[in-house]
Structure 1
């Protein structure tokens, strides 16, 4: 069968190769074999190939955080899944024609629905939903503020917040991004820069602002902190600026602002199977109802992985790059 593998870290489009490997074999009692239909290219995959991710594999290695497919074979002890069920694989190393994994490492999906939408549900919407549920401190009509609202996670945050009755303030870099924010359900968009705090307070009429979601880090973290009410929390989940978070001691000491980090992989590992099931049930339901949707930029075949990765690295895309696997010969 075909699998994407890499033997060294480097430019993703140069180091990832589509190779032929041994078939996965028959499942044990509690395992399933999944025919992969499609997988997206995630920033974490690009960072792993480049050697810049928080957890790196021993080389040579397989790769792939996300994938969706159909159950091809079930172990004799597996009762909750049947051949033909569409599933999302929650394990990693999914860029392959087939995966053999524990039955607990797949999540059953609705029988119908958009394949590409389901392929994108493991990472970004889960990150968004867990960020919004941070400490259970937000209630309907509460405000939160985020930067990078037009990133993949940022778009999910706006859409899920609207479903939950929350209101979002979205900090953009350019005025022309404001209309795009509104298209994804953002309530307020403000341009970043000096006096951001004043513009935010005017926009929400000095209402409490208890949560800041930071994908950028650097000095952007400090500007978000200045917008928050006393005793509030910033959760940092990305470093798009390439810099460390910067928050002044006056914000932390005198205003009681808390700065926390969030890494989805670590959070998922701490969750029980029923908790993960509930998380992805909620996400798949929103996708099925089309209250949560993802933009797809382009689709490639598996043996076009170099071109797919090159496209995924290009700036200015409005959607995700998908690799279609179904129908390709081994």
Structure 2
């Protein structure tokens, strides 16, 4: 899909990072380059913690970059000369602008959230001279409008989980006795786990 061909930005609590996956697309004279081999021995980029680096590389990122300065320059520094075609943004603000700057001309930014609290902003040169396109994605609305495709997507995710190729870190709490603890955990900043409430006695009113 398009997400596998571009640059992906996911919010990572603690240290802003951009997990980048490139396809070798871009201008005709750009030479497609293979992503560096993933190894735990490769040091993280400046500004990225070792824990975050290993976590995102384990999820399949070709390279993990701190979301500061010029992402385009950082990509060139690690020899990704073929610009990404697509960027996914859930942060907004200046972060989205840095992603757009890293894309190839005519690339697309897909905005599916704004965790930073500020709307994405781009210069008029980005629109006019580089032809960058921007569109939004509301996952809930998409699932409501495409129930059959949504069911297929959920089934595909379930198969990946059963094959142990996709994992979701989660912490379980008993609804009847541990709700307050679960609520406090859910409010913590920087947590990397889903909070799941278990119901042992179905039919009991809480």
State the TM bucket, normalised to the shorter chain: 0.7 to 0.9
Counterpart in the other structure of 1:301? 174
Unaligned runs of 5+ in 2: 14-18, 24-34, 36-44
Pairing 1:287–2:149 present: no
Pairing 1:274–2:148 present: yes
1:207 to 66, 82, 89: 82
1:182 to 53, 57, 70: 57
In structure 2, relative to structure 1, the CA distance for the partners of 1:204 and 1:270 (3 Å cut) is farther
1:191 to 66, 82, 102: 66
Counterpart in the other structure of 1:222? 97
- In structure 2, the residue corresponding to 1:234 is in which secondary structure? strand
Counterpart in the other structure of 2:6? 144
The offset of 1:216, in angstroms, is: 0.4
- In structure 2, the residue corresponding to 1:209 is in which secondary structure? coil
- In structure 2, the residue corresponding to 1:175 is in which secondary structure? coil
Q: How far apart, CA to CA, are the structure 2 residues paired with 1:173 and 1:205?
A: 17
The offset of 1:322, in angstroms, is: 1.0
In structure 2, relative to structure 1, the CA distance for the partners of 1:274 and 1:204 (3 Å cut) is farther
Unaligned runs of 5+ in 1: 1-132, 152-156, 162-166
1:242 to 97, 117, 142: 117
Q: How many residues align?
A: 174
Q: Deviations over 1:31-67 (max 9, x none)?
A: xxxxxxxxxxxxxxxxxxxxxxxxxxxxxxxxxxxxx
Compare the two structures and name the one with the higher strand fraction.
Answer: 1
Q: How far apart, CA to CA, are the structure 2 residues paired with 1:173 and 1:222?
A: 20
- In structure 2, the residue corresponding to 1:235 is in which secondary structure? strand
- In structure 1, the residue corresponding to 2:6 is in which secondary structure? strand
With normalisation by structure 1, the TM-score equals 0.48
Larger radius of gyration, structure 1 or 2? 1
Task: Give the aligned CA root-mean-square deviation in angstroms.
Answer: 2.6
- In structure 2, the residue corresponding to 1:318 is in which secondary structure? coil
